[in-house]
Amino acid sequence: MGNEEVARRVGATAEWIERKTHIRTRRWAAPDEAASDLGARAAEDALARAGIDAGRIDFVIVSTGTGDSPQPPTACLVQHAIDARQAACFDISVACSGFVYGLELARALLQRRPEALALVISTEVYSRFANFADHRTAVLLGDGAAAAVVGVVPEGYGILATDLSSRGDAHQLLRIEAGGSRLPASHETVDSGAHFVSMDGRGVRDFVLENVPPVLARLVRAAGLEQDRIDHFVPHQPNGVLVDQLAQASGLSNAHTHRTVEKYANVGSSSVPLTLDDANRAGRLEKDDLVLLAGFGGGMAVGACVMRWGVTA
């Protein structure tokens, strides 16, 4: 969906949207599509590219803040859709950091069961939670899903180090206030727009620029590396301006910063894996490259990992 149509809905101009966010287009799910539908398609694509049958999957981990419904877990719906009947399934909700959190959970599970395979999926349908009366937030949101098959890899490849952190004192910066046990759905919550995404844009920007660069520096040290050794930086894609600001502040002087915000917008926890997949499909990642993934957002939370690239699938 291009900026022209979104601009009409929010009372802005296409030029303003691109200038302020660098976003030119985004994908929105069809009216009959939900998070599990997008997640299942991403899972099937990942399984096909890995040459793995769904029946071999032991764990299905779904990161979503926009699941089909409060219960059952969206992961169970994906499991049913792809016929991964042997898998244990669960959701995680860490907003835009979710994919990295999912990878770390998969890694922990595989340390106990090295023969197992996990399917880590991020899937978001934020268009259903966009408040078109709040043009500064609504123009940022997109829908999408991405998935990865995770298994044990040769020593020295895959994830080298992970850093997960949370700041619950900043929870008010980014939220969907209603629909849970504290503020159940009612006429009042619907009328007030409390079921839509609400964001303090400046507060989020300040949080990211203050908190994410130190996390990245700490992570790279934990991996036994120097920051100038990182070849690729794959950050969450909140908006193009903030991606540029973070890249400049990150200290990753030799890393190529990968971007997809221009064509996908902000897809929540799907942004990091979508951007990684985009770089891989374009042939930008080579064997032995060092790749840093960084998710950050609602919670507030940060999840980052360094991996050594060893596959081209």
Residue 56 has a CB neighbour count (10 Å cut-off) of 16
Q: Which residues lie across from 41 on neighbouring strands? A: none
Tell me which of 22, 135, 232, 236 is the catalytic residue.
Answer: 236
| Distance in angstroms (rounded) separating the CA atoms of residues 308 and 231 | 10
Q: Identify whether 239 is a catalytic site residue.
A: no
Give helix 240-249 / helix 14-21 axis angle, nearest 10°. Answer: 10
| CA 131 remoteness from chain centre | 21
Q: Identify whether 258 is a catalytic site residue.
A: no
Q: Identify whether 96 is a catalytic site residue.
A: yes
Tell me which of 96, 232, 258, 305 is the catalytic residue.
Answer: 96
Tell me which of 135, 239, 266, 305 is the catalytic residue.
Answer: 266
Q: How far is CA 232 from CA 29, 155, 197, 297, 308, in A?
A: 30, 20, 30, 21, 10
Q: Which residues lie across from 149 on neighbouring strands? A: 119
| CA 66 remoteness from chain centre | 12
Active site residues: 96, 236, 266
